[in-house]
Amino acid sequence: MNALTRFAHSRTAWLILMMSAVALELAALFFQYVMELSPCVMCIYQRVAVFGLVFAGLIGVIGHRSRIARFIGLATWAISAIWGLKLAIELVDMQTNPSPFATCSYLPEFPSWLQLHEWLPSVFMPTGMCSDIPWEFMGVTMGQYMIVAFATYLLALVVFLIPALKKSV
């Protein structure tokens, strides 16, 4: 087994995925509660996508020795990163090309069985507008940084995919 395959089968690899996503969630809460920046609906949806990455990492941490668990973790990772990237691109488009016809809703449209904004409003209740750009660093908006973050998760997934699915020896 080569080094990348051993790493993909290790608890450490999945812990890195999980902890990097936790760091993004903590950063989001820092921006919201310390810097007092209001998250919009698209930001909240991106939080859910990042929680998907946390969950994917948790699946891998628990089941890193199981090929089936690694597959489920990889699938969750892929869905979360692709969905998050799509949302980040849409948000940046709303911010750079504002239109009265392309706006986001005031409340998230979660399924009736998963009303996160009602269960945990301090994390999942949007209070900002999608077209606002409340923060920039070095001329790059938060939405643009999230495009980079989700694209990086996808790139890591591509590198990680085949080694993680190989059978353990």
Question: Which residues are known to be catalytic?
Answer: 40, 43, 47, 104, 130
First CA to last CA across the chain, in angstroms? Answer: 7
The first and second tokens of residue 39, run together, are 């998250």
Greatest pairwise CA separation for the chain in angstroms: 58
Contact 71, 81 (CB under 8 A): no
Instruction: Please provide residue 82's backbone torsions phi and psi, each rounded to the nearest 5 degrees.
Output: -65, -45
